[in-house]
A and B are shown apart, each in its own frame.
Chain A
Amino acid sequence: MTIHIAEGDIAARTRAIVADLRFLEGPLLPILHEVQQEFGYVPQEAMPVIAEELNLSRAEVHGVVTFYHDYRDHPAGRHVLKLCRAEACQSMGGDGLAERVKMLLGIDFHQTTLDGGVTLEPVYCLGLCACAPAAMLDGEVYGRIDDQMAAELVAEARR
């Protein structure tokens, strides 16, 4: 399924988001979060609109968008599976888990399965370090992931 968003539509919806949040002190990050929430990514077409509304240069907005890992320049899959790659999870076999999940999905980190179903991303710490290894699937957290649970998580993400 391809969602086709007309360019004018993106501009109008972005403008509405900016209008809602521009009263905040330092509104750019909250606006970008909201834009990503709205479109699933930060569309190229949204940036000049934000720049114009906030009286910033396009380069400044582009610089901020590209600095932060969270902002996407294209939509993710229908489900996003994040695996924690930090030290506490490493100490409990996180690297092995990552290899297993990659194999089950047939993709590497930062990739999306061909059917557009699942995007796999690394995350550096979910704060679940005493129940490692940990993962997050569409905002839901999972800890102490063993091989069986990894397979269940992947199956869940595949649905």
Chain B
Amino acid sequence: MTVRIYVPRDAAALALGAEKVAKAIAQEIAARGLDAEIVRNGSRGMFWLEPLVEVELDGKRIGYGPVKAGDVAVLFDAGMMNGGEHRLCLGEVEDLPFLKEQTRLTFARCGITDPLSLADYEAHGGLAGLRRAVSMTSADIVKEVTDSGLRGRGGAGFPTGIKWKTVLDAAGDRKYIVCNADEGDSGTFADRMIMEGDPFVLIEGMAIAGLATGATKGFIYTRSEYPHAIAAMSRAIDIARSAGILGTSVLGSGKAFDMEVRTGAGAYVCGEETALLNSLEGKRGIVRAKPPLPAHKGLFDCPTVINNVISLASVPVIMDKGAAYYRDFGLGRSRGTIPIQIAGNVKHGGLFETAFGISLGDLVDDIAGGTASGRPVKAVQVGGPLGAYFPRSLFDTPFDYEAFAAKDGLIGHAGVVVFDESADMLKQARFAMEFCAVESCGKCTPCRIGSTRGVEVIDKIRGNQNRPQQVMLLRDLCDTMVHGSLCAMGGMTPFPVLSALDHFPQDFGIEAPDRKAA
């Protein structure tokens, strides 16, 4: 029987040499005359083990990693085809603690299947959600999603079902589903992994959203920095269209839904939903004032659902297994699972999908195994460039939208970037302001001007020019930006700045935190 050998095609695996490894394996198979085939899967999300080669034996998958091209011949000599022992052998992949401790609902297939095999997708539970949705009324689909408690995984945490209901109830000849795949936050790669590792789940989720709201056209707006995701997604859409999943009659339902991929042009602010809509329309990525909400007047002034990749990719499992199944995971008002991305200076970086409620400390110290450098953790930034820096004293914070907000932080898109003690928090605060100055769309003054003034003020703090007054000025400036900015770009840039100042005052050359002004 033909042995299947899996070598990921995920961009992170490629960045670590997966292509060379796949070529070397193909050469060995040919040279040794073996009965084996290579499957290019997505990544399991354990990046310290990439490239992770898996060999399927009696339905079990034995892992080897991290494999370099130079290791391949030796691995075949060691009997990799039969799960042979070698220093790189990890045993059965499913038994690795990092995977075993996860609850994979949204990422159930990622790293397991061939991302572009529809047969593989269906064999692993794919399309069951869409099949069920086809037999339901729009209102019932919306109710199911509402009951699941799913909230926007892009960062804002707005209930997905309510957004869908608004679009369903809005009058319009034409409605749109827009998938926000403009994943620009540092420390995040969940959207990329899904698009490269299980693109059909996003197509299925968007098709369900179309049926639920009466939208007939979908757009995935993603980043030019993600060429592999664009290629995989575009290919998957073509395959889905040929198979009748997309087109004039979704799975023979008589209802139309089709979609296409659009590529941004390097503007971070286009991750903000109204800027994204402008960009899709072919305009500058300038933020729009709300109201009107995109649900009423979105893309080309039509009612538009705009959801993050992970929100949409979580819908198929909800439709398949039911709202209650999904809602039973999590805590408080944060229901279901969240794919946390552990990045930066960590020993075990990767994607960890789990029910809401895990504490930041458990995640960083236990799951991620501490820093890659081996030095103590100094700070953890959760939620991208607009997220707060948390010190060790806040490690008891559970992953929950409200719990993070209560500590002046945010989950955002659930990226966690770990810094060791060598980090200079004044430098990080300055970077936050500098980044905002580079990426501001320019529409509102607090963001456009405030960010530049912020860089200047922080430079004066570093240079010890009237430091106490400058610190007060920085807090005042942050207050203006938080309350005066049109969108999260200017409104949340102060989060990393103030958290750095509050939790690491010594890096700013000041004694104790002065929280009064903030």
Report A's interface with B, CB cutoff 8 A.
25-30, 32-33, 54, 60, 63-64, 67-71, 86-92, 123-132, 134, 136, 139-144
Evaluate contact between A124 and B184: CB separation under 8 angstroms: yes
User: What 3 pairs between A and B have smallest CB-CB spacing?
Assistant: A28-B282, A130-B349, A86-B186
Given A29-B264, A125-B184, 9 other A-B residues pairs in contact with their CB atoms under 8 A: A33-B224, A33-B263, A128-B11, A129-B186, A129-B417, A130-B342, A131-B15, A131-B47, A134-B15
> In whole angstroms, how far apart are the Cα atoms of A129 and B186 in the complex?
7
- Residues of chain B within 8 A (CB-CB) of A140 are 14
Which residue of the partner chain B has the closest CB to A140? B14
> In whole angstroms, how far apart are the Cα atoms of A63 and B26 in the complex?
49
B residues 2-48 in Cβ contact with A at 8 Å: 11-12, 14-16, 47-48
Query: Contacting B188 at CB < 8 Å: which of A70, A92, A129?
Result: A129
- Residues of chain A within 8 A (CB-CB) of B50 are 131
The answer to whether the Cβ of B285 comes within 8 Å of any Cβ in the partner chain is yes
Residue from the set A87, A92, A139 with the largest chain B CB neighbour count within 10 Å: A87
Evaluate contact between A141 and B14: CB separation under 8 angstroms: yes
A-B contact pairs, 24 of them (CB 8 A): A25-B217, A26-B300, A28-B282, A28-B283, A29-B279, A63-B284, A64-B283, A87-B187, A87-B431, A88-B344, A91-B417, A124-B435, A125-B183, A127-B183, A127-B225, A129-B415, A130-B47, A130-B48, A132-B343, A141-B12, A142-B15, A143-B15, A144-B15, A144-B16
Evaluate contact between B189 and A128: CB separation under 8 angstroms: yes
Evaluate contact between B372 and A68: CB separation under 8 angstroms: no
Evaluate contact between B188 and A71: CB separation under 8 angstroms: no
- Residues of chain A within 8 A (CB-CB) of B285 are 67-68
> In whole angstroms, how far apart are the Cα atoms of A144 and B349 in the complex?
12
Given known A-B contacts A63-B284, A67-B284, A128 and B15 have beta carbons under 8 A apart: yes
The answer to whether the Cβ of B172 comes within 8 Å of any Cβ in the partner chain is no
- Residues of chain B within 8 A (CB-CB) of A131 are 12, 15-16, 47, 50, 349
Report B's interface with A, CB cutoff 8 A.
11-12, 14-16, 47-48, 50, 183-189, 191-192, 217, 224-228, 262-268, 279-286, 300, 341-346, 349-351, 372, 381, 384-385, 415, 417-420, 423, 428, 431, 435, 439, 441
- Residues of chain B within 8 A (CB-CB) of A63 are 284
- Residues of chain B within 8 A (CB-CB) of A69 are 265-267
- Residues of chain B within 8 A (CB-CB) of A136 are 225
Evaluate contact between A88 and B16: CB separation under 8 angstroms: no
- Residues of chain A within 8 A (CB-CB) of B345 are 91-92
Residue from the set B187, B267, B419 with the largest chain A CB neighbour count within 10 Å: B187
Residue from the set B187, B191, B282 with the largest chain A CB neighbour count within 10 Å: B282
- Residues of chain A within 8 A (CB-CB) of B12 are 127-128, 130-131, 141, 143
- Residues of chain B within 8 A (CB-CB) of A33 are 224, 263, 265
Q: Helix, strand, loop or mixed for chain B's interface?
A: mixed
Evaluate contact between B189 and A130: CB separation under 8 angstroms: yes
> In whole angstroms, how far apart are the Cα atoms of A131 and B15 in the complex?
8
| B353 CB → nearest A CB, Å | 14
- Residues of chain A within 8 A (CB-CB) of B417 are 87-88, 91, 129
Evaluate contact between A129 and B15: CB separation under 8 angstroms: no
- Residues of chain A within 8 A (CB-CB) of B420 are 91
- Residues of chain B within 8 A (CB-CB) of A54 are 282
| A58 CB → nearest B CB, Å | 14
Given known A-B contacts A88-B344, A124-B435, A128-B11, A30 and B189 have beta carbons under 8 A apart: no
Evaluate contact between B189 and A90: CB separation under 8 angstroms: no
- Residues of chain A within 8 A (CB-CB) of B191 are 127
Evaluate contact between B266 and A68: CB separation under 8 angstroms: yes
Evaluate contact between B189 and A129: CB separation under 8 angstroms: yes
- Residues of chain B within 8 A (CB-CB) of A29 are 262-265, 279-280, 282
- Residues of chain B within 8 A (CB-CB) of A134 are 15
- Residues of chain B within 8 A (CB-CB) of A86 are 186-187, 385
Which residue of the partner chain A has the closest CB to B387? A87
- Residues of chain A within 8 A (CB-CB) of B264 are 29, 68, 70
| A24 CB → nearest B CB, Å | 8
- Residues of chain B within 8 A (CB-CB) of A89 are 186
> In whole angstroms, how far apart are the Cα atoms of A106 and B227 in the complex?
28
Evaluate contact between B280 and A71: CB separation under 8 angstroms: no
> In whole angstroms, how far apart are the Cα atoms of A65 and B48 in the complex?
39
Given known A-B contacts A92-B344, A143-B15, A126 and B282 have beta carbons under 8 A apart: no
> In whole angstroms, how far apart are the Cα atoms of A91 and B372 in the complex?
10
| B304 CB → nearest A CB, Å | 12
Which residue of the partner chain B has the closest CB to A144? B16
Evaluate contact between A141 and B11: CB separation under 8 angstroms: yes
- Residues of chain A within 8 A (CB-CB) of B189 are 127-130
